[in-house]
Chains A and B, each alone.
Chain A
Amino acid sequence: MKKLVAILMLATAIVAPETAFAKDLSITAQMGPYSGRPAYLAIYVTKPDGSYDSTLWIAGQKTRFYQDLRNWFRGIAASGETIDGITGASVGSGQTLSVNVTLADALIDAGYQLHVDSAVEDGGYYPNDVVLPLSTASSGKPVSGSGYVQSLTVTM
C-alpha cells in the first residue's frame, strides 16, 4: 500500500508538498450479471474541467485490451503516466471488486470526479460506465452504472 500511495502522490498533479493530509478511500464495484469473460475496469479521476487527472486502479492485466477502456486510455496516453503497481485481476459477472486507495484531501469536495470505464473481450465497451463526484456527501451511497458495473460505492 505504501508503494501505491507513493505512486499516487507522484501521479497526482494537484498534490503539492504542503499537502499534509490524505484520505483513505474504499471503492467497491459490484458487477452486474452478464454472459462473457471477466471485465476490464479502469478507475480514475478527472479534474473539475473534465480533463483526465490520475488513475486509481486497473482491473485486468493484458495491455492489448487497455485501449478498449476508451476514455481512460485517451487520458492516460496524453498524461504519460504509468500504471505499475496499480493493476489487478479482471472482474467476472456478479463478482465484487474492492480496492483501497489514498487520495490527497485537496481532491475531495473540489469538483473532481471518479470514473469507471468497463470493457469485455468480444463484448461491449462502456467509457464512463459510472461517474460520481468525489464528495463527502456521496460517501457510502451506491451509484448505478450504465454498463457492466451494477453499482459503485465509494466510502471515505
Chain B
Amino acid sequence: MLRRLHSLPALIAALVVSFMALTGAFLSLDPAIQHFAASGTQTAGVNAAELASSVAANFPGVERIVKLASGSVIAYYSDGAGQVAATIDPQTGNSLGAYAPSPVFGFMTELHRSLFLGEGGRAVAGIGAFALVILSISGGLLLVARLGGWAKVFSAARGTFTQRLHVDIGRIAIAALLLTATTGTYMSLVNFGFISDGSGALAAFPTNVDGGKPAAIADLAALRATPLGDLRELVFPFRGDPTDVFTLTTNAGQGFVDQATGTMLSFTANNFGQSVYEAFYTLHTGQGVWWLGLLLGAAALCVPVMAASGTVIWWLRRRNLPKLNRNVAARAADTVILVGSEGNSTWGYAAALHEALTQAGHRVHTSAMNGIARDYGRARQMFILTATYGDGGPPASANRFLARLAKLETPALSFAVLGFGDRSFAHYCQFAADVETALVARGWSPFQPVGTIDRQSSQTFAQWGAATAARIGTQLHLVHTPARPRTTDLTLLTRVDYGVEVQAPTTVLRFGVAESARGGLFGLLGGRRLLRFEAGDLVGILPPGSSIPRYYSLASSSRQGFLEICVRKLQGGACSEYLHALAPGSTIEAFVKPNPNFRPASGRTPVIMIGAGTGIAPLAGFIQGNTRHRPMHLYFGGRDPHSDFLYEDAMAAWLEDTRLTRLVTAFSRIVDGAYVQDRVREDAEQIRTLVARGAQIMVCGGIDMARGAREAIDEIISPLGENALTLKAKGRYLEDVY
C-alpha cells in the first residue's frame, strides 16, 4: 500500500516535479548571486531619514527606495524621460550603477510558477508541489521500513545500484525536499485563496495629514527612528502635494509618515498571516538567506535523479512480475496465492495456478508473501508457492512473511504449500516446510502435504496440480514451461585449471562478450545493459539443450571488461562438465542476475572474508575492486597449496599494493592440514577486535564450510554479546552458500 502510494503519484508527477525542481534549482542561484552583489553594501549606522535625504539630494526625481532581501538598496526615480532605477551606496546616497532585475531569473520565476500557462499552469505547479510532499513522506516511511526501523535510518542501503542510488540520494535530500514541497504547496494554496496571506482588503490611507510645509527629510522623526536594517521600502510623496505622505514599510509592518511633522500617522503591524507568509516565502525562495537557497537548490537537483532511478526501479519490478489476469482484491477473493521468490521464476508457476483456478471459477488473489494482507475477508483456501534461499532461509519476496504472519487477523484457512528448489542442495525446500510448520502452529490445517518441485520440473507441477484438483474438487490444468531467460553470447577468453591432483578439478574461466552480441544498435542497448555487473553478482549459464540456468558467483565487475567465474567439476553436474570441456574461443549463453545482498557495505570499516574452494570467486572480485584500500582480511581454504591455490599470484600482488590487508590460508590435504574455520579460530583475538570495531564478515563456499565458519564466529564473538545471527540482522554477516 505504502509502495503504491509512493510509486503511483511519482510516475504521474515525475515530469512535472522534475521540471519544477530544475527550474527551482536554477532560481536558487539568485539569492546567492544577489548576496555577493550586495556584499559591499554597508548598512550599519544609517537610518531611513539619512538615506532618503542623501538619495533625494542626488536624485531629485526619486519616487521610492527599496532595500532588497540581499541588502542591496535600490532607488527608483524619474529622470525626465521615464522611470529608471539605480543601486545606491547607503552611506553616501550615490549611485553604484543602473539597476535592472535579471530578465533571466524573471523568466525562470514565471516558468517555475506557472509554466507560462496562466492559472492552469499555477495549478499544475501547485499539484506538483503537493505530489512532492506525498512522495517525500511516503518515501521516508518506505525508507524506514526498508532499512528496518527508525534506529537504522542511516545504516547502509542494500540493493542494486539503482536502488542504492535512490535510497542514498533520498535520505540526503528528503528534509530539504519536504521543506521545499510544503512551502511550495502553501504558496500555491495562498495563490488560489485557500489560505490567507494576511494582507487585508485595502489598508487605510491616513486622513489626518498635516498638509503644512514639508520639513527637511533628514529631520523627519519617524524616519530617523527607522534603522536601515529594518527598512524594506520607502515611497516618497508626490512632489508638490503637501497632503501626500511617505509610505514606510519595515520588517515589522507598514505605516505612513507625515512629510511636515515627521510623525507616524498610522502604523499597521504585520499580522500573524503575513508573518507566516513571509517565513514560508523565505524558506521557499531562500531570498535573503542565500545558503539556504543553495541548499534547497542542491536538493532540488536530486529530484530528477530520484525520478529517473525510481522509474527504473518501478519498471524493473513490474517487468519482472508476470501478468496476472483478473487479480481479485484481497478481501473479495475466495482463494489466495502467496509467492515467495528470489529470482522471480516461482512467479511463473503462481501465474499458471492463478489462471487455472480463475478458469475453474474461483476468485483468486495473488501477491508476494511479504504482501500478506491482515484480513482475507472471504477466503476459504490459501496456496503458498515458495522457493528457499541459501541455507534454508526465505527468498527475497518472503523475508518478512513470518513476522507479518503474526499480525494476520483472518481465521484459520485450509492451505497447501508448494516448495521449489534443487534436490542436489542441502535444505531442499526447507523454507516451504518452515512455512507449513508456522501455519500449523497457528492452528491452520493443510489440505495436502507440502509439495516440492525439483529444478523447475513442469511435469511435477502438472502432477501436483492434478492431486490438488482432486482434493479441492475442481478442474486444474497446470501448464507452465519456464520462460527461457534472455541471454547474451559470451566467448571464453582464457581458462586456468587447478586442483586436478587433489580430485577437485576447478577452472577459472574468463569470458568476453562475443562478437555476435556486440554489433548493431541492439547490441549497444540490450547487450551492454545485460552485461553490467559487480563482483558478487551471479551469472546464469544455460548448458545446451537446457532451459534451466545454473548460477555462478562473479569474480569480476564489468568495469574490468571481462566476466570471470570459478567452476568446480561435479560428478554428473551437466553444467560444470559442459563448462570444464570448453576451449578458449567457444561460446556460451549466459545472463547476469544482480545479487545485491552479498556485497561489502559502503564505508571504511574492515571486512573479514572467509572462503573455500570456488567460494573465493566473489571475494577475489571484492579485493580486486578495493582500490580505496579499506582493510580486508581473507581466510582462504583449499586442499593443497601446490594444486588448488586459486588466485595465488593475484593475491600476492594484492597484498603487495595493500588492496588485501592480510591473507590466511588453510589447506586440508597436506601434513598438519587444517580447514579454513580452524584458522579463523586461531585468530579469535584479532577477529573479535575487528568485529568490535564494526567489521563486516562475508562467507562464501559450500554448506559445510559455511556452517563451520558460523560456529567458529559464534564462539569468537560471544564475549561481545553477539553471534552470527545478530550480526546477520545488522547486515554485517553475509553468506553466499551453495
Contacts and interface: CB of A to CB of B under 8 A. Distances in A.
Interface of A: 35-37, 62-64, 66-67, 70-71, 73-74, 76-78, 82-83, 89, 122-127, 146-147
B101 A78 contact: no
B273 to A, nearest CB: 11
Interface in B64-117: 64, 76, 82-83, 85, 101, 103, 106-107, 109-110
16 contacts: A35-B101, A35-B103, A36-B103, A37-B110, A63-B199, A63-B201, A64-B197, A67-B203, A71-B238, A77-B202, A78-B205, A89-B119, A123-B101, A124-B85, A125-B235, A146-B83
B63 interface: yes
Contact of B109 (A37, A70, A89, A147): A37
A126 B110 CA distance: 22
B145 interface: no
Given A124-B85, A146-B82, 20 more contacts: A35-B106, A36-B101, A36-B106, A37-B109, A37-B110, A62-B199, A63-B200, A67-B254, A70-B247, A71-B238, A73-B202, A73-B205, A74-B244, A78-B205, A82-B201, A83-B202, A89-B119, A122-B101, A125-B63, A127-B238
A74 B202 contact: no
Interface string B181-205: 0000000000100000101111111
Contacts of A71: 238
Contacts of B560: none
A49 to B, nearest CB: 13
A70 B82 CA distance: 17
A28 B63 CA distance: 27
B205 A37 contact: no
Highest count of chain B CB atoms <10 Å: which of A66, A83, A124? A124
Interface in B204-244: 204-205, 207, 235, 238, 244
A66 B197 CA distance: 14
A126 B205 contact: no
B118 interface: yes
A101 B88 CA distance: 43
Given A36-B106, A63-B200, A67-B247, A74 B83 contact: no
A40 to B, nearest CB: 13
Interface residues of B, number: 29
Contacts of B238: 71, 127
A35 B203 contact: no
B106 A77 contact: no
Nearest 4 A/B pairs, CB to CB: A77-B205, A64-B199, A35-B103, A124-B83
Nearest to B68: A122
A144 to B, nearest CB: 11
Interface of B: 63-64, 76, 82-83, 85, 101, 103, 106-107, 109-110, 118-119, 191, 197, 199-205, 207, 235, 238, 244, 247, 254
A126 B202 contact: no
B205 A74 contact: yes
Contacts of A64: 197, 199
Contact of A147 (B64, B83, B191): B83
Contacts of B199: 62-64
Contacts of A70: 235, 247
Contacts of B64: 125
A122 B106 CA distance: 9
Nearest to B113: A37
Given A36-B101, A122-B101, A78 B63 contact: no
Given A125-B64, A146-B82, A35 B235 contact: no
Contacts of A37: 106, 109-110
Given A127-B238, A147-B83, A66 B63 contact: no
Given A77-B205, A78-B207, A89-B118, A124 B244 contact: no
Nearest to A128: B238
A126 B83 contact: yes
A48 B98 CA distance: 38
A71 B109 CA distance: 28
A125 B234 CA distance: 13
Nearest to B235: A70
B63 A77 contact: no
Nearest to B254: A67
A127 B107 CA distance: 25
A1 to B, nearest CB: 22
A66 B662 CA distance: 76
Nearest to B104: A35
B202 A76 contact: yes
Contacts of B106: 35-37, 122
A86 B254 CA distance: 26
Nearest to A81: B202
Contacts of A77: 202-205
B254 to A, nearest CB: 8
Nearest to B64: A125
Contacts of B205: 73-74, 77-78
A123 to B, nearest CB: 7
A83 B101 CA distance: 31
Nearest to B103: A35
A64 B101 CA distance: 20
Nearest to B76: A124
B539 to A, nearest CB: 59
A82 B264 CA distance: 26
A73 B204 CA distance: 9
A59 to B, nearest CB: 13
Most chain B CB inside 10 Å of its own CB: which residue of A36, A126, A146: A36
A66 B107 contact: no
Nearest to A74: B205
Contacts of B76: 124-125
A74 B118 CA distance: 29
Contacts of A35: 101, 103, 106-107
Given A37-B109, A127-B238, A63 B103 contact: no
A63 B202 contact: yes
Nearest to A37: B110
A123 B66 CA distance: 11
Nearest to A83: B202
A29 B244 CA distance: 28
A93 B243 CA distance: 34
Contacts of A89: 118-119
A35 B76 CA distance: 16
A73 B206 CA distance: 12
A76 B207 CA distance: 12
A125 B77 CA distance: 10
A124 B100 CA distance: 10
Contacts of A83: 202
Contacts of A147: 82-83
B289 to A, nearest CB: 18
B202 A66 contact: yes
Nearest to A124: B83
A78 B201 CA distance: 14
A74 B103 CA distance: 31
A3 to B, nearest CB: 19
A74 B200 CA distance: 15
Nearest to A126: B83
A71 B244 CA distance: 10
B115 to A, nearest CB: 14
A35 B100 CA distance: 10
Contacts of B110: 37
Contacts of A66: 202
B348 to A, nearest CB: 58
Nearest to A148: B83
A59 B339 CA distance: 62
A31 to B, nearest CB: 15
B369 to A, nearest CB: 55
A95 to B, nearest CB: 11
B83 to A, nearest CB: 5
A147 B85 CA distance: 13
